[in-house]
Amino acid sequence: MKRQLIIFTLFFLAACSESIKPIDTAVEDQILYIGNSTEPQDLDPHIVTGVPESKVLMALLEGLVIRNPEGPNPLPGVAEDWTISRDGKTYIFNLRNDATWSNGDSVTANDFVYAWNRMLMPSLGSKYPDMLYDLVNAEEFNKGLITDFSKVGVKALDDFTLEVVLKNPAPYFLELLCHYTTRPVHQATIESFGDMDTAGSKWTRPGNFVGNGPFLLDRWELNKVIVVKKNPTYWNSSVVRLNAIHFFPVDNASREDLMFRSGQLHVTSTVPPEKVESYQVKYPQNIQIDPFYGTYYYRFNTQKAPFDNKLVRQALSLALNRTLIVEKVTKGGQDEAFSFTPPDPDTYFPPTTLEFNPEKARSLLEQAGLSDKPFSVDLLYNTSEGHQKLAQAIQQMWKTELDIDVILTNTDWKVYLSRQSIGDFQIARAGWIGDYIDPKSFLDMMVTGRGNNQTGWSNKEYDNLMIAAANSTSQEERYRNFYEAEKILIDEMPVIPIYTYTRIYMLHEQVQGWGDNLLDSRPYQFVYLEN
């Protein structure tokens, strides 16, 4: 009888513990649970390029300014204020003297000089050095044309005063500084695990990471969870209400959806496309469909035949029914992409020349000498139901309209990134979310040799137009150059724009202070939980 009682008690306790969901205690504990789509490649802000990485880095590091959750104008971060010269080229940032690293060291102007020097070092191999190309001599240093970093337009005037000098006025510059690539890194920590330009070292692991953001890196269990906890040394810690955030790398949309509905997540990274319509009726208080400044596209490896022929690239684009894709496949209020750059909400409307014309597509293949030569293509994408369903739909379109066999290759995030970086692909799915609200954030990445180009495509006229845009003296002139550059890009077709994003996700009612912005960039210090 005693043994039976013990067994029953253990069973009861187990059942009770299983019934307690993380959400049940989240408000009391102030722990936010986020679905983060996939396992981050790394947490080095000068190396990574993906959204999953940016979500975590938002918690761990803080730049000169931070994203405003309620509007377009950035808020003070490490810099408590700043001045801009009359010609718009010189910025003086006054750093607060109470900003510290998590080990207690002061955050100084030299930390930003060091970080930007590191990002621009050719030997580091950053994919994002062009983020700083607005600075005087930054591009020249990154390309090895000069080797003296003191000639680059960033200087510590003293411990708490940073001077930044631009080549030309950049109306988006403060917003650009919200991006994680421009945040400082802790020199002593970097160099205790390697040289300044060492990539992939252990400084980004728990116990080693020294940050200056509102949260600390507490735990990283590969393919399971990344846990960050409140940073007591953060200069504005009194406003931080969350005690911890758990980031779960869930690359299966159905599993993530189940985790949300079973009380394990506050926020999902996406919603299974087939459930969007029903959830708008069933869970109107939870499903979010937000505008999102981004484009989903396919990139060609233009160094591999037959994709070195623009006629082939154009044909594949013409054989895509974008209207059918957004209405029947993605189903989340997305718009067909008729250009690479999404329309600016207010001012910039790119050329819209893309169309669905299978007859013309077949004619172009004939001109390319491939109409009577059946061929297959390999389409690379990373693990995700959404990517897979779209790839399957496009596979069918290209087979139906062009009699092309498409081999679908699904890999995890790190392999997917690696294969593109070394050119080991024919066609790969891709997506780009603006780093700031400006056409330059999209068009600049396609300049010859840019780290995020990854197509092998190069066009001198395009490059010159982008230089002209950078040197323009008015917004109207900038936009004219962007417009002409984009016409070249669409004609040459190194990428196939497919649709412009919306941000579709589930958000629990407990989450407060989430805000809404076109870049889905959330400063977690303003987020809290409340019943």
DSSP string over 141-196 = HHTTS---GGGSSEEEEETTEEEEEBSS--TTHHHHTTSGGGS---HHHHHHSS-T
| Within a domain: 149 | yes
Q: What's the number of domains the chain is made of?
A: 2
| Within a domain: 452 | yes
Same domain, 495 and 511: no
Q: Residue 34's beta-bridge partner residues?
A: 247, 267
| Within a domain: 413 | yes
Starting from the edge strand earliest in sequence, which strands make up the sheet with 287-300, in order? 335-336, 495-506, 287-300, 427-433, 376-382, 405-411
Cα–Cα distance, 43 to 210 (Å, whole number):
12
Residue 111, CB-side half-sphere exposure with 13 Å CA sphere: 28
Q: Dihedral sign, CA of 353, 358, 360, 363?
A: positive
The CATH number assigned to the domain holding 173 equals 3.90.76.10
| Spatial contact of 172 and 91, defined as CB atoms under 8 Å apart | no
Same domain, 391 and 413: yes
Same domain, 211 and 338: no
Same domain, 490 and 521: no
Residue 345: what pLDDT? 63
| Within a domain: 191 | yes
Same domain, 518 and 500: no
| Within a domain: 287 | no
| Within a domain: 242 | no
| Spatial contact of 152 and 141, defined as CB atoms under 8 Å apart | yes
| Within a domain: 229 | no
Same domain, 372 and 513: no
| Within a domain: 45 | no
Residue 18: what pLDDT? 55
By C-alpha distance, which of 267, 265, 228 is closest to 245?
228
**Where do we find the tokens 């591009």?**
139
The amino acid that residue 396 corresponds to is Q
Same domain, 85 and 124: yes
- Dump pLDDT digits (tens) for 253-305: 999 999 999 999 999 999 998 999 999 999 999 999 998 899 999 999 999 99
Same domain, 393 and 513: no
Cα–Cα distance, 503 to 511 (Å, whole number):
17
The amino acid that residue 103 corresponds to is N
The CATH number assigned to the domain holding 343 equals 3.10.105.10
What does the DSSP 8-state code read for residue 327? Answer: I
- Dump pLDDT digits (tens) for 36-67: 999 999 999 999 999 999 999 999 999 999 99
Low-confidence ranges of the chain (pLDDT < 50): 1-17
By C-alpha distance, which of 24, 135, 79, 4 is closest to 531?
24
Same domain, 342 and 454: yes
| Spatial contact of 157 and 109, defined as CB atoms under 8 Å apart | yes
Cα–Cα distance, 165 to 155 (Å, whole number):
9
**22: three-class secondary structure by DSSP:** helix
Same domain, 390 and 512: no
Residue 516: what pLDDT? 75
Domain that holds residue 107: 51-224+507-529
Same domain, 207 and 311: no
Same domain, 187 and 297: no
